[in-house]
Each structure stands twice: as C-alpha cells, then as structure tokens.
Amino acid sequence: MDAGQYQDGVRLSAGERRQLLERLETLSAGNPGSTRRQHERLEYHAPSIPITIRHPGGTDAYFRVCSRNLSSGGIGVLYAGFVHPETECELLLVDVHGKLHPVLGHVRSCRHVYRRVHELGIAFKERLDPRMFVGVMAKVTSRVEPAGSTPQLAGIALVQSTANEELRLFQKCIATVGMQMVEVETLGQILDAVSRMEVQTIFCHLADPQRVGSLCQRIRDTGYNGPLIGLTNLPDCAAAATLGLDGYHEVLVRPVTDTAVYRALETAGHSYGLHGESAPILTTLDPRNSNTGELVRFFTTLAHQAADQIEGALASG
C-alpha cells in the first residue's frame, strides 16, 4: 500500500481536532450513555490511524482517521463523511511497544458531530486488551514536562532499535512532544511502514559506514521526504557527523540522551513543518536530488515567516 493512498480522512487542523475531542468529552461527561454498553471505554486520542473502508460492491477506500476512545470491543474515530452501518473495515493500531496490529471490524454507528465530521463507532470482530494501546496516549495526555521547553509536534515517528532501555527513552520523548511512536527492527520494516502510513520522522540504525548512503537511498526511493535521523554506536562524534552528509537530517551517537532526542525533534519540526498546528510538508520533488532537502527546508522557513507576518497583522487589526 502506497502511503499516498491513505488520504486525510478528518480534514481538520490539529487544533480543531483537539477542540472537537474536548467538546465531545465534555458532552459525554454529562451523558453517561447507554446502560447496554458492555465494554469499558478508555480515552484514546491517536492522531493518525490508517483505516481501510470496504464499501459494498468490493471497493476499498484508504484514509487516516483520529480516534476518540477505545474498548475491548471497539473504537470511536472521527471521519469527514458518512459511512453506512455494517460496512466492514480494517484498522492499523500501534501498541505501547510500537508494534503494528491489523484489527478487523465493522461500522456499528455513524453520527454527525461537526461540519462534515462524523463519529464512527467501530465494533471489532475479535476482542482485544485496550491497555495494550492506550499506554502511549495516556502519557501524551498526562505527561510531566521535562526541564526547559519541548517542541509540540504531530504525526508518526519510526524508531529502529532493539535495545529496550533506548526504546523506553524514545517512547517517553516522542509521546511528550505529542507524536506517536512505531517500533521497527529492520530496514524492511521501515520500508513497509512508510508504504502503509503517513510517517513524519524516521530514526534509523547506522551500523556500516559503507552502506549508509545506500540505506538512505532505499528509504528516499519510497518517496519519503521527511527528516531521517541516524542512530549509531560509533564513539567518534566527528565520524558520525561525516555519515550525516549522506542525506541524514542529523546523526545521534549512542548512548542517546533525552536532551539529544528533543533537540533532534525540535530541529526536524522547524525544518519540515511537523508542529502540531500544521500539516506535514508534502512535495513532488525528486527525493534522490541532493538539493531537495535544502529546498524543502528553505520553503518551510519562508512559509513560517509568512505565517508569522499574517498572524501579526491579524493581531494588530
């Protein structure tokens, strides 16, 4: 599945989504809901869940939706359109360890909530343990801010690592800035994840200096133009920085610290437009062209400057 085939299925900015979810939760607090509900619902605000909607007649549609809540028997998601009840679907959910789980279900209910947005109640074909998935989101909503300012970003970050301690550090940092982490172990898993979902950031393992360029090339050949951040065990920072000249946004030398991860995410956010109130920057420029990254960063800088000028003009009346 080409990542471009998963279209934005919500059509709201990050701020609008957050406000809508907060309003729905407020309304829900005053209405306990049906006494027939069989499964406990947990708050689950995943920002970008790939979903395949299998329309009657055999036509499949591919979207990214955001979720509201999750239970062992189903999930509530926001989608900019009406879907007939009993329509079958498949979601890709990420557990607290960053693993992908295909989950089959069908639309049980569809109600209009805002503009074109509907809330879909999706019933799973097989029950699951919701706490396998809610842990990461809970850290986002109830996080403790580290010392200093941290970036507030959006989207999915792939992390290639097999070290449990390092994965826990990345999980904490990525959840704190508002992103969703997906754990991968191999280059093949990176390529598969990029093909199936809209990935905003990739942290990839660099083990062989002779293969750094080809590894980058294979990832860029998928059409991925976002920040590519290397992780290496090379003790010499200068050597690692040299590796970074082959198309990597930055290279982090192990052992990785939370400060280094936050800094890398912050610079990537400024360069590629990953901040929570904005959508990711997409480009049709050839990713194999050595000037593409610089052009995207230059355009993003100009866009930020223009946005600041517009915001200032609106504020001054």
Mean per-residue pLDDT for 34-49?
Answer: 71
Token pair recorded at residue 269? 């956010």
- The pLDDT value recorded for residue 236 is 53
Sorted by sequence, the CB contacts under 8 Å of residue 186 that are 6+ apart come out as 160
Position 6 scores a pLDDT of 80
Residue 38 is predicted with a pLDDT of: 53
Give pLDDT, residue 270.
67
Please list the alpha-helical segments (H only) found in 102-253. 131-141, 164-176, 187-196, 212-220, 237-243
Res 145: pLDDT: 36
Q: What is the pLDDT of residues 261-299, one digit of tens each?
A: 988 888 777 666 565 544 445 455 554 555 665 666 566
Tell me whether the CATH fold assigned to 3-132 matches the one assigned to 143-302.
Answer: no
pLDDT of residue 277: 46
Residue 182 and residue 226 in contact, taking contact as beta carbons nearer than 8 Å? no
- Tell me the β-bridge partners of 253: 232
pLDDT in tens, 123-160: 999 999 998 888 644 433 333 333 344 566 777 899 99
pLDDT band at residue 35 under the 50/70/90 scheme: very low
Fold of 143-302: Rossmann fold (3.40.50)
Alpha-carbon radius of gyration of the chain: 20
For the chain, the distance separating the N- and C-terminal CA atoms, rounded to the nearest angstrom, is 47
Band of the pLDDT at 309, cuts 50, 70, 90? low
pTM here?
0.51
pLDDT in the model for residue 157: 92
Give the alpha-carbon dihedral of 48, 268, 171, 79, to 10 degrees: -10
Residue 235 pLDDT grade (very low, low, confident, very high; cuts 50, 70, 90)? low
Domain extents in the chain: 3-132, 143-302
Instruction: Give the SS3 label for residue 146.
Output: coil
Q: CATH for 3-132, among 3.30.300.30, 3.40.50.2300, 3.30.70.3040, 2.40.10.220?
A: 2.40.10.220
Whether the per-residue pLDDT at 241 is higher than 90: the answer is no
> What does the pLDDT look like over 67-124, one tens digit per residue?
999 999 999 999 998 898 899 999 999 887 778 899 999 999 998 988 889 999 999 9
How confident is the prediction for the chain on average, in pLDDT? 77
Alpha helices in the chain (DSSP H): 14-29, 131-141, 164-176, 187-196, 212-220, 237-243, 258-272, 292-316
